Amino acid sequence: MTDGNAFPAPGRRVWAVGALCRAVADALEARFNPVTVRGEITGFSRAASGHCYFSLKDAQGQVRCAMFRRSASLLEFLPRDGELVEVSGRLGVYEQRGDLQLVVESMRRAGQGALFEQFLRLKAKLEAEGLFDAARKRELPLLPRGIGIATSLGAAALHDVVTCLRRRAPHVPVVLVPAAVQGAQAPGELAAALESLYRAAERGTIDVILLVRGGGSMEDLWAFNDERLARTIVRSPVPLVSGVGHETDFTIADFCADVRAPTPTAAAELAAQPREAWLGALRLLHERLREAALRRLDRAAQRLDQAAAHLGRPSARTAQQHLRIERQAQRLRFALTARLQRSEDELRSLREALRSGIAERLARATRDCERIALRLQLLDPRLVLQRGYALLTDPASGQPLTSVRAMHPGRDVRAALADGEVDLRVATRGVNPS
């Protein structure tokens, strides 16, 4: 055995503390770096300089970590104690204390890399389709007739929302449709709950809908990153508020909703204005209305006083009114006389025009009748008979006979001449020249 207080044997190297720390750091650099570590955050703090300090631990060990400001500014989430993360960096020794230290260059939530990639892909797809457009988002009603809530009956968020609504707007009715907010069945149940609330909105029962749940990891909130639920949200007939998780949590539901609230309680506060504020406004309006009515009564009293002063000398006012009436009557007589004269002149002109028009029409009609009579005379068949022609007809039927084929020997015919008719009988039939 050796004496614990004995000096090292001659020739053995004696390390300076700083040199030993540097040697250990060099060995770690050559053996491990770069390194990726998975563990649970504990003791997280952010200094005024922007640097972050924390430890990573698991059931078997713990390592101190530092994340400098430049790397910390690239984080896409706010690390919290108890959160499981994966960090990449370089392992070394903090020589001032001789502590093992991991200088973290990047960090992501552990086990959520694939989920986060799915989240980003769905977010990009729905954003390209216009589901996140600010133009389609509506303002919340100031005085909702009712508020719909979709969440789990066992969620702490429900207690927070109901407590807030009872405090701020106990007069507003609430319609609750329960649904799971975590697990594989949650997206379908949430979509069905919203559809039920949409029917209530179409009946005019509710004017705003709250979709809420408390905070959690990305896995816990994954139901609110479902595409079917997102498309159901944008079909809401009334404004919809998404209050999912904590202030730093973002889901697809938040982007699709008309309004995103940082917490469930904040969602309730946005949907229902405090009753006391409205009552105070009503009291103020009542006072303003009362003052306006009093001012109006004062002005009416002044006008009444002025009217009474004028009525103190009714004879002069009556004479003035008589004079005005006489002037108006005279103007009316002049106007009527001038109007009657113009009317008589117009009637006289119309009478002359009518008489002239009738005479011209009669003359034109007489000339037309004479021309027609002349044409009729020219068409009179008796003129033809007078030139030696005869009209042959069948004595029985009176039908004219115009063809030699109808003339067989022995047939009786009747001939109409210029001065009468004679009955004839066919002796022979001549030859048809055609």
Cα angle value 126/129/135 (rounded, 5°): 100
Burial class (CB in 10 A: 0-12, 13-18, 19+), 211: buried
pLDDT in tens, 190-199: 999 999 999 9
CB 104 within 8 A of CB 64: no
Give the CATH number of the domain where residue 54 resides. Answer: 2.40.50.140
Question: Quick one: 267 and 145 in the same domain?
Answer: yes
Residue 31 has pLDDT above 70, yes or no: no
Same domain, 143 and 71: no
Q: 22: number of CA atoms within 13 Å, CB side? A: 5
**In whole angstroms, what is the distance from residue 88 CA to residue 209 CA?**
42
Tens of pLDDT along 235-261? 999 999 999 988 777 899 999 999 999
pTM of the full predicted structure?
Answer: 0.47
Residue 1 in this model has a pLDDT that exceeds 50: no
**Number of domains comprising the chain:** 3
Q: Tell me the mean pLDDT in the region 161-184.
A: 92
Asked if the peptide bond before residue 34 counts as cis, ω within 30 degrees of 0, the response is: yes
Residue 74 falls inside a structural domain: yes
Residues 173 and 265 in one domain: yes
53 and 146 share one domain: no
Range 355-375 average pLDDT = 85
Domain boundary among 245, 273, 301: 273
Q: Which domain range does residue 99 map to?
A: 17-110
Answer yes or no: is 405 within a domain: yes
Mean pLDDT of 42-65: 88
pLDDT range class, residue 293, cuts 50, 70, 90: confident
What is the pLDDT of the chain when averaged over all its residues? 84
Residue 135 has pLDDT above 90, yes or no: yes
**Opening angle at CA 59, ends 57 and 65, nearest 5:** 10
* Whether 223 contacts 183, CB under 8 Å: yes
Phi, psi dihedrals of residue 27, rounded to the nearest 5°: -65, -40
Do 162 and 58 share a structural domain?
Answer: no
Neighbours of 7 (CB within 10 A): 8
Residue 278 located in a structural domain: no
- Residues 102, 170: one domain? no
Lowest mean pLDDT among 83-97, 156-170, 230-244, 331-345: 83-97
Please check whether residue 264 lies inside any domain of the structure. yes
Cα-Cα-Cα-Cα torsion 273, 277, 278, 284, nearest 10 degrees, comes to -160
Q: Is the pLDDT of residue 430 over 70?
A: no
